[in-house]
Amino acid sequence: MAILIGENNVFLLNTKNGSYSFCVDQEGLLRHLYWGSRIDAIEDFKNEPFVWEQGFHSIYDVKREECSSFGTMRFKETSFKVAYADGTRDFRYRYVKHTIENDELTVLLEDTAFPLQMYLHYKVHEDVDIIEKRRTVKNCGNEVVSVERLHSGECSLPGAGWNLKNFNGMWNSDFDAYEQKIMGGKTVLESLRGATGHVANPSFILYQNAGETYGEVYYGALAWSGNFKIVLEQTPYAYLNILAGINDTDFEWRLTAGATLETPALYLGYSPDGFDRMSNAMAEFSRRYVMPQPMADQPLSVLYNSWEATYFDVNEQAQLQLIEKAAQIGVELFVMDDGWFGQRHNDHAGLGDWHVNAAKFPNGLAPLTQKLQSYGMQFGLWIEPEMVNRDSDLYRAHPDWIYHYASRPVMEGRYQYMLDLTRRDVQQYLIGEIDRLLTENDISYIKWDMNRGMSEVASALLDRSESKSIWYRHTKAFYHIIQSLKALHPKVEWEACASGGGRVDYGAMHYFDEFWPSDNTDPLDRLSIQEGYSYLYPIKYMRAWVTDSGSNGKRAMPLLFRLHGSMCGALGIGLNLNERTEEEMELLKKYVSLYKEIRPMIQFGQLHRLASLPVDGVQAVQYENGKESVLFAFLDHPSRWRTVFSVRPRGLDAKTCYRVEIEGQLQQKYSGAFLMNSGLPISLNHDYASCMVRLLPES
């Protein structure tokens, strides 16, 4: 049973490998008891009174809590802050009751003096070791209540000395995995851009002594694409408190009579043996519970994207040529990126005017879609719906449709403003325009981009008292728009992009079918970006293009190295195919076809990070489906010792004999036991060398 309730008011939530426990204590408050390896005996969790002498330190700071609230002798970061109409600014609650339905435990708390309720939801995804936390606050009174902070969940880990792994980057340097020891005080991961951003990801990984295949790992990810905040507070009371949710900076939600406010979900996971299990559990969880259908179960197509080939210089002739070449190498979906609409000749103009530029495409998009149909290929388009350029018909017609203060000029980011998505008319305009595009043209795929953060966050239509709710409303409106479009066009596939990986989060995953993880397509940089991404996000969602190298300021690297790197994700091609030699086209064709063969293993299989360049001198990653495996290895440059490597694949059957094929050539046969223990010898001996190895069981 996933949810157990003890007689002594103890709650025990069990997943395959883990347990999470809390109780109602002697004061009627929720006290955290345990998070870790699975324990079945609920009677072992004794709900003994928590004793603490009054003094300088408050009992509420010393106790590990499930729902701390500001103001009530709590001096730590708290998970809830509220202001009642009479000026009272704390939530002094008592446990009221709980219910269980469909593996979800809901605990009701109520303020002892005001008609305010808080529902704590715990959904147990037993099969994938995830506990999903959410909260709902309900105003049962007649007066408005201001919610000034509301985290999705609170939990804690005992002791001190925890290591944090997160992904900390910037544009073009996404998913830089970094590790730090959490010392005293607060460590905060957050975004204040109105979207996820590149600087920190809305997720965390905590451990004391763990590696890929050993050690306990605790992790969490927020399903939110707006301002978020994760606070890890090392208290002096021998525990690390963890809070995660909507960012409370410039946040206020006025809860009117009878209204509710629900937080985004926080997914909490536990792995008893390292990061490998964590990543695979998260990928499985994503597939089963987050990814939208029908795409969740379908492999992603090999796509072509025009961005790096033609940038803004798109036109019928050039795109037709690219389509022809893309068809030759086996591409299945052709995506025309930025530049096709309005007066979009560079990034200074056109955003908001979602009409095909008649000078570039005098016959509309039909020549492209017809040609693609004749090849049995699909068509996709780039859009950036939340934005408008000053130089656009939309802005000239509706200067009021952007976030702005009446008192000041609005700042531009990438020469663009942000549309006020809290307005109904703006939402309707966007839904109408994109619906029209999708209805008039044969479009199977949309890449939804977002290239600036929010500023001057005020709306011409919202009352001033509501201004601080705009950040939250924007994210909700973004979800509403895409959800409406998906209802109108259920077969269309959607890619989330925000200057690369600025919108990689579990909130967006509920609506989108894939992510663009970075604008940086340098194949070597990409290896570490992909590695960082893979810790908590599924490979199926990781678009990876092969692009030109040796031009546009890019390092030159062999095409094979670039191909291998991109085959580690959802393969895409971003090369200027018009400039490729015949041999290069042949190589592309060969590897696109090979990719299609191994695609189910890459996109749906188990992932094992076998070696990482900065640590091991070689990068190696394996994908397996329980039977066979494919493995890619990469070397940046050889040095005295860096030419022959031994990597140890995982998940093989010890007794089975495997045929080891390196790039299609039979090399050797080894038992699973030998490969997993002694290792597979790989030799890479030149700059930017790489290879693909298949491990095929002998029948």
Residues that bind ligand DGJ (CB under 6 A): 307, 337-338, 382, 449, 451, 497, 499-500, 516, 519
Minimum CB distance to ligand DGJ smaller for 338 or for 513: 338
- Active-site residue, selected from the candidate residues 449, 505, 522, 636: 449
* Nearest residue (CB) to ligand DGJ, 172 versus 208: 172
Q: Burial code of 33-64, b = ≥16 C-beta within 10 A, e = fewer? A: bbbbeeeeebeebebeeeeeeeeeeebbbbbb
What is the smallest separation between the CB atom of 444 and ligand DGJ, expressed in angstroms?
18
> Of 414 and 555, which has the nearer Cβ to ligand DGJ?
414
C-beta of 217 vs 497, nearer to ligand DGJ: 497
User: At a CB cut-off of 8 Å and minimum separation 6, what does 584 contact?
Assistant: 559
Q: How far is the CB of 306 from ligand DGJ (least distance, A)?
A: 9
Minimum distance from residue 387 beta carbon to ligand DGJ (Å): 10
Q: Helix, strand, or coil here: 366?
A: helix
The least CB distance from residue 196 to ligand DGJ, in Å, is 14
The helix (H) or strand (E) run that includes residue 695 is: strand 689-697
Measured from the CB atom, the residue of 169 and 500 that comes closer to ligand DGJ is 500
d(Cα 698, Cα 668) in Å, to the nearest integer? 12
Pairwise CA distance, residues 426 & 419, whole Å: 7
Choose between 395 and 448: whose C-beta lies nearer to ligand DGJ.
448
Is the CB of 322 or the CB of 633 nearer to ligand DGJ?
Answer: 322
- Give the span between the Cα atoms of 130 and 128, in whole angstroms: 6
For residue 294 the two structure tokens come to 């029908």
- What DSSP string runs through 274-287? HHHHHHHHHHHHII
Residue by residue, DSSP assigns 300-364 as: PPPEEE-HHHHTT---HHHHHHHHHHHHHHT--EEEE-SSSBTT-SSTTB-TT--SB-TTT-TTT
Distance CA 530, CA 512 (A): 19
- 450 contacts 498 by C-beta, under 8 angstroms: yes
Could you give the CA distance from residue 507 to residue 133 in angstroms, rounded to a whole number? 14
Minimal distance, residue 337 CB to ligand DGJ, in Å: 5
Residue with tokens 């002739």: 317
Q: How far is the CB of 632 from ligand DGJ (least distance, A)?
A: 24
Smallest gap from Cβ 346 to ligand DGJ, in A, equals 10
How far from 671 is each of 107, 164, 655, 660, 661, CA to CA, in Å?
A: 52, 37, 6, 10, 14
Q: Please, which residue, 34 or 382, has the CB nearer to ligand DGJ? A: 382
> Which of 390/627 has CB closer to ligand DGJ?
390
Smallest gap, in angstroms, from Cβ of residue 382 to ligand DGJ?
5
Query: What Å distances lie between residue 542 and 172, 516, 592, CA to CA?
Result: 15, 7, 17
Task: Give the pair of three-digit tokens for residue 439.
Answer: 């209805």
| CA–CA gap between residue 535 and residue 175 (Å, rounded) | 10
Query: Does residue 90 carry a catalytic annotation?
Result: no
Q: How far is the CB of 18 from ligand DGJ (least distance, A)?
A: 37
How many other C-beta atoms lie within 10 A of the C-beta of residue 496?
A: 27
Q: 193 or 648, CB closer to ligand DGJ? A: 193
Q: What is the SS3 assignment for 152?
A: strand
Which residue's CB atom is positioned nearest to ligand DGJ?
338
Q: How far is the CB of 521 from ligand DGJ (least distance, A)?
A: 9
Element (H, E) at 24: strand 18-24
Nearer to ligand DGJ, 307 or 479 (CB): 307
Closest distance to ligand DGJ from the beta carbon of 590 (Å):
26
Number of other residues whose CB lies within 10 A of the CB of residue 257: 12
| Catalytic residue chosen out of the listed positions 519, 522, 548, 636 | 519
Q: 3-state DSSP call for residue 290? A: helix
519 catalytic? Reply is yes
Angle made by CA atoms 78, 84, 90, in degrees to the nearest 5:
30
Minimum CB–partner distance for residue 449 and ligand DGJ (Å):
5
Exposed, middle or buried: residue 560 (CB in 10 Å: 0-12, 13-18, 19+)? middle
- Measured distance CA(202)–CA(229) in Å, rounded: 7
DSSP notation for 86-136: TS-----EEEEEEEEETTEEEEEEEESSSSEEEEEEEEEEGGGTEEEEEEE
Rounded Cα distance, 521 and 572, in Å = 11
Q: Which residue, 284 or 338, is less far from ligand DGJ as judged by CB?
A: 338
Q: In 3-state terms, what secondary structure has residue 409?
A: coil
Cis omega (within 30 of 0) for bond into 294: yes
Beta pairing, strands 445-448 & 378-383: parallel
The SS3 assignment for 601 reads helix
Active site positions, annotated: 449, 519
